[in-house]
Amino acid sequence: MSQVVSAFIGFTLTVMVLSYLIGDNPLFRVAVSIFVGAAAGYAASVIAHQVIWPNLVIPLATATLTERALLIIPLLLGLLLLTRISPQLARLSSPAMGYLTGVAAAVAVGGAVIGTLVPQIAAAAASFDLTDAAARGLSPLGQFTAGVVMLTATITTLIYFNFGARRAADGTVRRNGLLELAARVGQIFIAITFGVLFAGVYAAALTALIERVSAILNLFGL
Amino acid sequence: MMAEIQCRNCGKFNPPELIKCQFCQLPLSAMDDEDETIRPGQVPTKKVTAELEPILPQWLREAREKSRKAAEEEAARQAAEAEQAAANREAPPDLLAGLEAQSHRDEEDEVPDWLAGMQKTSHKADERVETYPRRQEIRWEEEPSETEPEEEMGGLVSGPQTEVTFDESGLPSWITGGPAEREEKETPAPARDERPVSPFDTGSFRPNTGELADFLPEEPAPPPAPAPTAASEGNLPDWLSNLPPADQPGGKTQALVDTGSLDMGSLLSGELPDWMTNLDTASTPSEAAPGVAGKSDAFDLPADLPDWMKATSSADESKPAQEERGAFLSPMPPSEEIPQPPPVPSSPAFFPGMEPLGEEEVGELFAAELPDWLSNVAPAEPKHEPQAAASPLAPGELPSWVQAMRPVETVMPQAQAAPATPSGPAEQQGPLAGLSGVLPILPGLGPAKRPSAYSNMLQASEDQQSNAALLEKLLASEIEPKPLAASSSVVFSQRALRWTITIILLLLVTIISLSGSQVTPPPNLPGETFAAITTINAIPNDSPILIVFDYEASLSGEVEAAAASLIDNLILLHHPRLTLLSTSLNGPALAEHFMKTTQSQHAYLPGTNYVNLGYLPGGAAGVLGFAEAPRVVMPHTLNGTSVWSLPPGQGINTIADYAAVIVLTDQAESARVWIEQAGPLINGKPMLLVTSAQAGPMLQPYILSGQAAGLVSGLAGGASVEQAAVRPGLSRGYWDAFGLTLLIVVLMIFIGSAWNLVVGIQARMRGEA
Amino acid sequence: MNRPFAAAIAIAIGLIVLLGYFLPIPVLSVLRLELVQWAILLAGIAALVGIFNLISVHWQKIRRRERGSFYSAVLLLTMFVTLALGLLLGPAHSVMQSLVESVIIPVEASLMALLAVTLVYASIRLFRRRVDLMTVVFLLTLLLILFLSTPILSGNLSGLGDLARSMANTPAAGGARGILLGVALGALTTGLRVLFGMDRPYGGK
């Protein structure tokens, strides 16, 4: 019974949202409001049950004295963070925000270096390892060609994102001619990449449409 | 023919060409200009830049509105407090206030008490309703005043503060000119409580921010004669039209500064913090040099002044409008209570113990060492003083920070050679009433060292403003209403096109889904998907597997379809112990939904065969923490029970104890986080990615680098896994509808694009013809 | 006072966490884990702050009777009902699970489904907005990749499809690598600026 009710609510909300295809209308807005409210309420309950309660409240009540003393710091920072709710007190949250920012910056730096920069640069170089390609049964020529294309794409894309430029004598700001050419090539690779990404986005959206239509058909046993 | 000028002092009319009143010999131009300039003691009316707001997004408008209201309330509160506490205040005014402030509510941004108290000495004329422009909106030629609206008031009084010596009267020695001069000027000081609050009241300029004192002396003062800016261009606002193009050499500074005298661009490059760079460009003095006889061009009203500026300029007869003054002016007494300034006023009230000075004496005292807030107003007909030469103080006697604030000596040595001129006009209003020549009369002295004010109001440099103007134009063009008559057919055709697309897609998907067709060939098996299947096959039996649910409900259908067959095969082949974890807030429920809808055939039980850890907050930090110590970071399941004693969690101490990590995600960003943070800690254990089709292409480099062992991307990936496993499932059920609809979509886009291309080319050719 | 303190915290904590990546010192690892755990807790609280802000914004709309306040009322009502149920029953309860499956999943998925129409519409009109090399390359790649996803080049023509797919995917992967490296470099410089105190997004400069 509850599943039927749940499915019917889902069907109703789906129709209300899809009514946007006709044009913006109150049904659509009501559906979106309901969704945002439900999502926020669910999120708050998850945080309360999964973050605050087990990581703060329970340890403060049951942990050893040392652990409790240590928990004072995040408790204090958390309270400071909550002051952001009030514009008058928001400035008090700076230490907590500083703490979060410091950790996030360190994690971003460490992850970028260890997880992306070093491995990806190594992989770009490894694509020219023709011995390895032959050992894996790949055509060395094909591997080399693909490596050249990928390396060109990688470098020119990076150059495209480089906004360093010098001021010419006439006052105009221009990149070095070679860099400008590379940037234009990089622009083409970026266009290709975005085309592929856009195709992926469309595939995802179309799948969502098919899933919704299928859900409605299933509700009515079709 | 120009109208005659009425002398404010004697009330008689004078020919317009006269500079001084032919009857009383008092200068006339100052009277003319008082509408254009803000004199000491006058309080500017805050200009609310509402005209820009309609194009701002709603959230930004709300933020601005909230901030504006808060600033007004705060200013009113502080002004009231200042009035009460002025008498017995012990703490000195914070002259560094506002320099670092981001929020108007910060203590650094508060309106200083002495400034609030200064309103007591304002005259009736001060209460003219003046629409005060924001700094960014002031036409350069019309920027005679440095007085700021209340939200920037903190910056008005800010300045570097180091130890300053004070004499008995509470005045710093560099102002009083030393004991010798003080002897002849000293008069009984008025009662302290009755004095208006001034920065010199307490006699203790105590710095509170050493950081500022360090770098402020390096701040270059603006040059004496900035170049005139270009006239308004196109439909740009006036203030914007005065900005140089962003790509011009020297950027904003060179357009505003007379490069012949001083290259501000070079001064500002590199060493200065951004805010100071902005400060200089924003506060560079106007081009008009008030040192020459006659009315300064700086105060001529151009014909294209904004309306609000014109209203300000022509409002000599404007009556005070209390309700428009805002809370900032609340300490001001009613205008009726303020006596008219006497023609020869006595000494300013905030200078205790001083006899009224002659014009020249005062001019000597205040020639160059005036605080910036006093330097804001250049007299309309100022006369040059040989300031450096006439000053009783040698530069070496001044504190270093004061020297740094002396624009004449530090930045504009050429200004010392300014020709000597008679003393300037006597001040008529404000706390300096009666003092003559107190305001800097050299070009460029006015806004020489005004510190910037930081508040949470929008503070933007010239560059940012030009960028904002571009964005503004873009946005304006986007929201610009089109004439309905001309575009009704276009609107109809657009709507028809959208409805046509809608109907075609819905019909296709519905019909194909209804038919249950599975006639189209399945997709080919990509290499990365084959690698994923191989990896799954190699996982030991009954091993712990971590499955990360990191997608939103919007793409749950697609990700579930992509992952269902892979997990199905995993469970079928190896019967692993699963740990489910989510880094999105809805993830715990989506994980349960996935297990319930796609893996129900395996009868996996929560707590026995799998455990749902729930939500892991903290983004990348959370992933890092979990990878290092899952037991510490996630001690409980979603329903509150202890995880690690349950069968799925036994033997797990780090993420490397899992036989494999499978990340289900709809964003390349979240997959990247897992690869970056957890990848180095899994000790060679495989990490598989199951993603939405929109994330797959961005993750290819991680497959090629070997950081991810395999990838199943989107419906095509899921269908190919099902095909490889010969177990048709969810993806295969969607595949026909997907493939055939996609074919129609490709045709629609191709035909529609070709049509639009031809139409566009034709329109362009017609336009060129 | 607050801001230098915040800067000191950010720099000190950030450096400790960063050093933990490169220096395998047990004491440092323990300290870093503790710091990261606190950050996880704070991040959860920060999410709560966001929800409070949502409540505040919509409550203000209702109080001022602004346009659309009805929708704000609906939103807040739904939120409080869901929150109450979640606090009472817990997020793992079947009622909460049903709520997610009947409200959150259908609405979010339907919003995504709307894109299937609007993206086609936008693609068709792309050439009307601008015609340049980037647009042409973008649109041709889009059509090629979508076409390769159709069943036309499957089956007997799969070899041709694979070839075309690799021709499109190889430069795309190179571009993606360039973008990933660019993102990583950006994260590196931004993070270092924060760790050196040059940027203070927590309320400093």
Non-local CB neighbours of B266 within 8 Å, separated by 6+ positions: none
User: What average pLDDT score do residues B42-65 get?
Assistant: 51
Element (H, E) at B509: helix B484-515
Residue B530 has pLDDT above 60, yes or no: yes
Residue with the larger pLDDT of the pair B370 and C110? C110
User: What average pLDDT score do residues B232-255 get?
Assistant: 37
Touching check for B737 and chain C: CB below 8 Å? no
- Among B47-51, B214-218, B581-585, the range scoring the smallest mean pLDDT is B214-218
Touching check for B621 and chain A: CB below 8 Å? yes
Q: What pLDDT digit, counting tens, does each position of B663-693 carry? A: 999 999 999 999 999 999 998 899 999 999 9
Element (H, E) at B710: strand B710-713
Residue A170, pLDDT score: 73
Residue B289 β-bridge partners = none
Place of tokens 């710093």: B172
User: What ipTM was reported for this prediction?
Assistant: 0.91
Encoding tokens for residue B533? 């299947």
CA distance B39 to B34: 7
Residue B69, pLDDT score: 66
Residue C59, pLDDT score: 92
Nearest by Cα to B575 from B521, B488, B647: B647
Residue B548 β-bridge partners = B581, B663
CA distance C170 to B506: 34
List the 55-94 stretch of C: residues with Cβ below 8 A of B: 57, 90-92
Does C108 sit within 8 Å of B589, measured CB to CB?
no
Q: What is the CA radius of gyration of chain C?
A: 25
Pairing of strands B660-665, B610-615: unpaired
Show residues of chain C in contact with A104, CB under 8 Å. 39, 191
Indicate the residue of B502, B699, B757 with minimum beta-carbon distance to C127. B757
Phi-psi region of B165 (alpha: psi -120 to 50; beta: other; left: phi over 0): beta
Nearest by Cα to B194 from B48, B87, B283, B90: B87
Residue B762, pLDDT score: 83
Q: Which residue of A has its CA nearest to C5?
A: A95
Nearest by Cα to C106 from B733, A208, A153, B85: A208
Tell me the pLDDT of chain B averaged across its residues: 61
Encoding tokens for residue B167? 């004499």
Non-local CB neighbours of B29 within 8 Å, separated by 6+ positions: B19, B294, B295, B380, B381
Share of chain C above pLDDT 90, in %: 49
Mutation site for B-interface testing, chosen from C28, C40, C94, C100 by largest number of B Cβ within 10 Å? C40
- Give the 3-state secondary structure of residue A9: helix
CA distance C81 to A45: 11
CB pairs under 8 A between B and C: 186
- Give the 3-state secondary structure of residue B748: helix
Terminal Cα-to-Cα distance of chain A (whole angstroms): 19
Q: What pLDDT digit, counting tens, does each position of C130-143 carry? A: 788 888 999 999 99
Residue B121 has pLDDT above 50, yes or no: no
Indicate the residue of B620, B636, B697 with minimum beta-carbon distance to A54. B636
* Number of other CB atoms surrounding residue B540 within 10 Å: 10
Encoding tokens for residue B664? 């289900």
Encoding tokens for residue B211? 């950081």
Q: What pLDDT digit, counting tens, does each position of B373-412 carry? A: 433 433 334 344 434 333 443 434 444 444 444 443 333 3
Residue B522, pLDDT score: 83
- Neighbors of chain A with 3 or more C-beta pairs under 8 Å: B, C
Residue C159 has pLDDT above 60, yes or no: yes
Touching check for C142 and chain B: CB below 8 Å? yes
Which letter does DSSP use for residue B223 in this model?
Answer: P
How close B543 comes to chain C (CA, Å)?
25
CA distance A19 to A36: 18
How close C74 comes to chain A (CA, Å)?
6
Strand runs labelled E in chain A: 166-167, 173-174
Indicate the residue of A17, A45, A201 with minimum beta-carbon distance to C91. A45
Does B614 sit within 8 Å of A87, measured CB to CB?
no
Nearest by Cα to B53 from B324, B326, B458, B455: B458
Indicate the residue of C36, C75, C185 with minimum beta-carbon distance to A103. C36
The string of DSSP codes covering B303-355 is TT--HHHHHHHT-TTPPP-HHHH-GGGTTSPPGGGSPPPPSS----TTSTTBP
List the 161-190 stretch of C: residues with Cβ below 8 A of A: 166, 168-185, 187-188, 190
User: What average pLDDT score do residues C19-28 get?
Assistant: 87
Its pTM stands at 0.61
Residue B199, pLDDT score: 33
CA distance A119 to A106: 19
Q: What pLDDT digit, counting tens, does each position of B473-483 carry? A: 666 665 555 55
Cα C92 → chain centroid: 24
Does C154 sit within 8 Å of B704, measured CB to CB?
no
CA distance B148 to B133: 9
Residue B473, pLDDT score: 64
Share of chain B above pLDDT 70, in %: 39
Q: What pLDDT digit, counting tens, does each position of B532-570 carry? A: 999 999 999 999 999 999 999 999 999 999 999 999 999
Indicate the residue of B624, B705, B742 with minimum beta-carbon distance to A120. B705
List the 553-612 stretch of B: residues with Cβ below 8 A of C: 553-557, 585-586, 588-590, 592-593, 612
Which letter does DSSP use for residue B204 in this model?
Answer: -
Residue B30 has pLDDT above 80, yes or no: no
Cα C184 → chain centroid: 16
Residue B448 has pLDDT above 50, yes or no: no
Which letter does DSSP use for residue A114 in this model?
Answer: I
- Residues of chain A short of pLDDT 70, as ranges, are 1, 163-167, 173-174
Confidence at B289, pLDDT banded by 50, 70, 90:
very low
Nearest by Cα to B280 from B444, B110, B39: B444
Residue B213, pLDDT score: 33
Nearest by Cα to B34 from B294, B383, B326, B378: B378
Show residues of chain C in contact with A53, CB under 8 Å. none
**Contact at 8 Å (CB) between B581 and B547?**
yes
Residue with the larger pLDDT of the pair A54 and B531? B531
Touching check for C124 and chain B: CB below 8 Å? yes
Does A88 sit within 8 Å of B617, measured CB to CB?
no
Does A206 sit within 8 Å of B742, measured CB to CB?
yes
User: What average pLDDT score do residues B239-261 get?
Assistant: 36
Touching check for B523 and chain A: CB below 8 Å? no
Touching check for B701 and chain C: CB below 8 Å? yes
